[in-house]
C-alpha cells in the first residue's frame, strides 16, 4: 500500500494533526510498527493508504548520537521507500522561516522528493494573519525554487484544513489508480 509521511520539528503539532486526520468514522488508526522501525509509526487509513508518522528533526534535547541515528533513519526512509507518494512537511505558521526547515526542504528538492507544506496552529494567529504569514514564508522559497510546492493552512485545535488535506490525498490516490 502507498504511504504519505508527515514530518516536522518537535512540537510543531504533528501528533495533533495526525489525530485530527485520523479521528472520524472510516479512518481507523491501526498502528503497526514493524520490527526495526520503532520510531516510524504507520496508521492504516480507510484500508487504503498508510499515514506514516516520522520522528521530528532538529530536536536539541536529544544527544548528538541519537539525533544523527534518527536523521539517518529518516533520510533512508525518504530516499528509499518506494511506497512513499508524498511527504507533508509541517511548519508552525507563527514562526519565521527556520534554517533547519529550509535546509530540509532544499534537500528534498535536490533529491526530487514530492512534498507539500502544512502550516500548523493557525488558530493561534487568526485566519488573516495566518494566511499572510504562510504566504510570506512561501515567498521566501523563491530565491531557490522556481516553482513553489503546494501548501495548506491548518488548525488541529479548530479542526480546519482537515477536509482539504484529505481531499488532496484522495486526489493523489485516484491519480495513481
Q: Does 23 bind ligand GDP (CB under 6 A)?
A: no
Q: How many CB atoms are located within 10 Å of the residue 92 CB?
A: 19
Contacts of 44 (CB under 8 A, 6+ apart): 1, 28, 30, 32, 50
The β-bridge partners of 50 are 3, 44
Q: Does 120 bind ligand GDP (CB under 6 A)?
A: yes
Q: Does 156 bind ligand GDP (CB under 6 A)?
A: yes
Least distance from ligand GDP to the Cβ atom of residue 17, Å? 7
Q: Does 10 bind ligand GDP (CB under 6 A)?
A: yes
Q: Does 14 bind ligand GDP (CB under 6 A)?
A: yes
Q: How many CB atoms are located within 10 Å of the residue 171 CB?
A: 10
Least distance from ligand GDP to the Cβ atom of residue 91, Å? 11
CA distance 19 to 152: 17
Helical packing angle, 14-22 and 162-176, nearest 10°? 70
Q: Does 155 bind ligand GDP (CB under 6 A)?
A: yes
Alpha-carbon torsion (112, 104, 143, 141), positive or negative: positive
Least distance from ligand GDP to the Cβ atom of residue 47, Å? 25
Of 35 and 126, nearer to ligand GDP (C-beta) is: 126
Q: Does 15 bind ligand GDP (CB under 6 A)?
A: yes
Interface segment toward ligand GDP; rule CB under 6 A; list 9-17, 24-32, 38-46, 100-108: 9-17
The residues of the shown chain that bind ligand GDP, judged by CB under 6 A, are 8, 10-16, 120-121, 123-124, 155-157
Amino acid at each position: 500500500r502507498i504511504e504519505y509521511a508527515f514530518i516536522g520539528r518537535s512540537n510543531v503539532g504533528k501528533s495533533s494533526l495526525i489525530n485530527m486526520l485520523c479521528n472520524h468514522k472510516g479512518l481507523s488508526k491501526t498502528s503497526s510498527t514493524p520490527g526495526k522501525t520503532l520510531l516510524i509509526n504507520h496508521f492504516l487509513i480507510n484500508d487504503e493508504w498508510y499515514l506514516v508518522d516520522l520522528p521530528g528533526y532538529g530536536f536539541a534535547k536529544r544527544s548528538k548520537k541519537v539525533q544523527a541515528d534518527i536523521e539517518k533513519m529518516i533520510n533512508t526512509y525518504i530516499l528509499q521507500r518506494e511506497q512513499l507518494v508524498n511527504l507533508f512537511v509541517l511548519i508552525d505558521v507563527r514562526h519565521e522561516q527556520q534554517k533547519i526547515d529550509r535546509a530540509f526542504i532544499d534537500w528534498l528538492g535536490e533529491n526530487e522528493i514530492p512534498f507539500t507544506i502544512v502550516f500548523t496552529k493557525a488558530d493561534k494567529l487568526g485566519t488573516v494573519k495566518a494566511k499572510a504569514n504562510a504566504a510570506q514564508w512561501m515567498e521566501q522559497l523563491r530565491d531557490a525554487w522556481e516553482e513553489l510546492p503546494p501548501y495548506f493552512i491548518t488548525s488541529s485545535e479548530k479542526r480546519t484544513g482537515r477536509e482539504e488535506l484529505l481531499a488532496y490525498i484522495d486526489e493523489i490516490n485516484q491519480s495513481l489508480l
